[in-house]
Structure formats: C-alpha cells, structure tokens
C-alpha cells in the first residue's frame, strides 16, 4: 500500500479593501517611504475597517471561496485549525466561530498560536490527521487582524504589519504528492524580544496595563532580525539537505513575508534565484499567520502538479520552521 500524504487540494485568500500606504504612515509617525521600503520592502498594507469586524470576518470569504473552488459543502469538513494571534476573543476558539459562520456543522476545531510560524505549524499538524487516516478533509486557516494589536504611534511596528487571511484544504493523496517533510522549532528565550505583555494571566487587563500600552505588539527589531535572518535560512536549507533537494529541484520558495532582507537571505542560503521566490510583502506587509497561504493563493495559477515547494517562516516565541511539499494539482 502506498503511503498516504496530506495534499493541498484547494487554496483561497482574502484581504480587506482599505490600503494603508507608506505615504499615509508618513502623516502618522516619523518615517518616510524610502526608509520603510529600504528596510522592509513594504509599500502598502491592507487594513480591516469597520465596527465589529474581526479576524473571522476575513476567514469567512476565504473559506467560502475555497469550498466553492473545490466544489464541496462545508458540512464535509472534519477539522478546522485556525492559526492566529488575533482571535476574535480569548475563547471560544475562532475556529469554532468560523465553523458556525460557514456551516461546518460536522467539524471540530481549535486555534493554534505560533505567531508568524502559525501556518507552518498548522499545516504540519493538520497533515498528521490526514496521514493517520483519522480525517479526510482538514481546513488550515492562517489569518490575522494585526491592526487590532498595533500601536500606530510606534514606528517600529506600525510600518510592518497588515491584515489578511488565507486557507488551504488538506485531503489524502496516494500519488506521493502533498506534505513530504517538516522541521519545526522554538526557543522560548525569545519571549522578551517579541510579545504582547498584557491581556493574559501574567498581566490581566487593567487601567494600568492599557495606559502602559502593554496590549500592543512589542518588537525589539534588531534582535528579532538577527535571529530570524539566520534561523529561517538555516531551517530552509536543512529541509532541502534532509530530502536531497538541490536549488534546481525547488520550483518555489514560499517564505513568510516579514522583511524583504530576510526573504533574500533565505533564498540566497538555498541557492534559489528571485524568480523562484513568492514575494507580495510590498502589497500586504506582514499579515503574520496569513502570509504563506496568501502567497499560495496569489501564485496558484502558476503552480504545477508535482512542483517542489519549500515553505519557511519565523515568528514570535521564538518559533520557526520549514515544510517541504509537492503541489498536488494544476497544469
């Protein structure tokens, strides 16, 4: 019997309409377009506007479009893994809220919190349920409303992040296509460099925590960059070596969109040219768990059955990892 792999059989994405440009940011904080572009590669990012709009409201159109593409009913979904650091609320899980909104009445689900590595962690986790034979259809969603946790007076973070959501469907495949390997890592000592200090059990919400700005994302940029640029590149190279892949074997690098310089360093370490790298950071900024599925969504029509894809990410935790998958459909 041939081994069952978890293959991506559909992908879809959603980004809000509102575009926050570098020029508009120049009116909000002490920065300029040239400075942002040079250091990050970002020109604009999308922001979810409107009262009462949450992360699940971006996931709904992404998932509904995915189901339509695949030609299946929401009731066929067995499991929803929602990767996010901006859940609609601390509990219930946004996966449960999403299931209700799209009519996935037979699905169970949970949220997975690994910051910018969330989607990679979620993909590797979802694959286990397919490979074990427990489930036939697993939905992995990566999305964040980062604007809800960003201080737009803090130029170290507000220039980087945007809102967006992507989703993939995992199904069994016996042709050797799908998730082939994954390497996932974490280092909790990185907590001090990238975090939200309050809102958890350590510092419950209070007037003092709100006044101190502890409910916003905090990033010590230099330390995070140094760690990310090394580890994201290393883990991508490691998964290639482990699977005896050369740069010529790799059709696409699908990197987390945190910073153009980190993406370039990862590609260079792998030996792949920029023509093989999915880059949309200039349009969407860093959407945290949304970046990788949004890339797959945008590049879907360029992907061919059997293409070797290397996914790589780095995020708060610290968390980082890489997934090697063979694309399961297309020309």
CA angle at 291 for the pair 236 and 214, rounded to the nearest 5°: 105
Annotated catalytic residue within 12, 256, 259, 295: 256
pLDDT recorded at residue 214 = 98
Q: What is the pLDDT of residue 267?
A: 97
The model's pLDDT over 157-175, given as tens digits with 9 standing for 90+, comes to 999 999 999 999 999 999 9
- Lay out the sheet containing 138-145: strands in order across: 5-14, 163-173, 138-145, 79-83, 108-112
Which of the following is catalytic: 83, 116, 158, 165? 116
Query: Span 104-132, mean pLDDT?
Result: 98
Query: Is 158 an annotated catalytic residue?
Result: no
Q: Give Cβ neighbours of residue 211 (< 8 Å, ≥ 6 apart).
A: none
Task: Find the catalytic residue in 158, 259, 286, 295.
Answer: 286
pLDDT tens, position by position, 98-113? 999 999 999 999 999 9
Predicted pLDDT at 45: 98
Active site includes 22?
no
The pLDDT score that the predictor gives to residue 32 is 95
**Rg over CA atoms, the chain:** 19
Contact of 239 with 183, CB cutoff 8 Å: yes
Tell me: pLDDT of 331 over 80: no
Q: Where are the beta strands (DSSP E) in the chain?
A: 5-14, 18-21, 44-47, 79-83, 108-112, 138-145, 163-173, 178-186, 194-195, 218-219, 252-255, 308-315, 319-326
- Using alpha carbons, select from 150, 85, 90, 147 the residue that is nearest to residue 112: 85
Average pLDDT value for residue range 18-38: 96
Amino acid 1: pLDDT? 62
Q: Average pLDDT for residues 52-60, to the nearest whole number?
A: 98
Categorize the per-residue pLDDT at 221 as very low, low, confident or very high, splitting at 50, 70 and 90.
confident
Write down the pLDDT at residue 225. Answer: 93
Residue 165 a catalytic site member: no
Q: What is the mean pLDDT of residues 1-12?
A: 93
> Phi, psi (5° rounding) for residue 198?
-120, 170
Distant-in-sequence contacts of 275-278, Cβ < 8 A, 24+ apart: 276/250, 276/251, 276/252, 277/252, 277/253, 278/252, 278/253, 278/254
For the segment 294-314, the average pLDDT, to the nearest whole number, is: 98
Task: Indicate the helix (H) or strand (E) that contains 98.
Answer: helix 94-102
Domains of the chain: 5-176 (3.40.47.10), 180-327 (3.40.47.10)
Higher-pLDDT residue of 1 and 125 is 125
Question: To the nearest whole number, what is the mean pLDDT of the chain?
Answer: 97
pTM here? Answer: 0.98
Name the band, by pLDDT with cuts 50, 70 and 90, for residue 2.
Answer: confident
User: In the 8-state DSSP scheme, what is residue 198?
Assistant: S
């Amino acid at each position: 019997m041939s081994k069952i792999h978890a293959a991506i059989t559909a992908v879809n994405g959603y980004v809000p309409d509102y575009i926050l440009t570098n020029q508009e940011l120049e009116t909000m904080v002490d920065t300029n377009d040239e400075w942002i572009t040079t250091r990050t590669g970002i020109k604009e990012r999308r922001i979810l506007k409107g009262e009462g709009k949450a992360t699940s409201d971006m996931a709904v159109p992404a998932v509904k479009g995915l189901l339509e593409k695949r030609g299946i009913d929401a009731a066929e979904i067995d499991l929803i893994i929602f990767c996010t650091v901006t859940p609609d609320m601390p509990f219930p899980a946004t996966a449960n809220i999403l299931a209700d909104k799209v009519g996935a009445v037979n699905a169970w689900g949970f949220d997975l919190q690994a910051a910018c590595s969330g989607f990679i962690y979620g993909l590797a986790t979802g694959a286990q349920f397919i490979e074990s034979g427990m489930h036939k259809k697993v939905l992995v969603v990566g999305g964040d409303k980062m604007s809800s946790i960003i201080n737009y007076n803090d130029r170290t973070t507000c220039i980087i992040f945007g809102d967006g959501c992507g989703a993939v469907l995992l199904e069994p495949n016996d042709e050797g296509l799908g998730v082939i390997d994954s390497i996932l890592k974490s280092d909790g000592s990185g907590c001090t460099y990238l975090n939200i200090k309050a809102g958890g059990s350590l510092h419950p919400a209070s007037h003092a925590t709100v006044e101190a700005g502890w409910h916003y994302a905090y990033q010590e940029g230099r330390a995070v960059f140094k760690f990310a640029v090394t580890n994201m590149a290393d883990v991508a190279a490691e998964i290639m070596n482990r699977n005896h892949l050369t740069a010529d074997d790799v059709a696409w690098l699908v990197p987390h969109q945190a910073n153009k310089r980190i993406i370039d360093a990862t590609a260079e370490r792998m030996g792949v040219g920029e023509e093989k790298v999915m880059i949309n950071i200039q349009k969407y900024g860093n959407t945290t768990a949304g970046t990788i599925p949004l890339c797959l969504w945008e590049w879907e029509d360029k992907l061919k059955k059997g293409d070797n894809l290397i996914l790589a990410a780095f995020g708060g935790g610290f968390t980082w990892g890489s997934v090697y998958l063979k694309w399961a459909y297309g020309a």
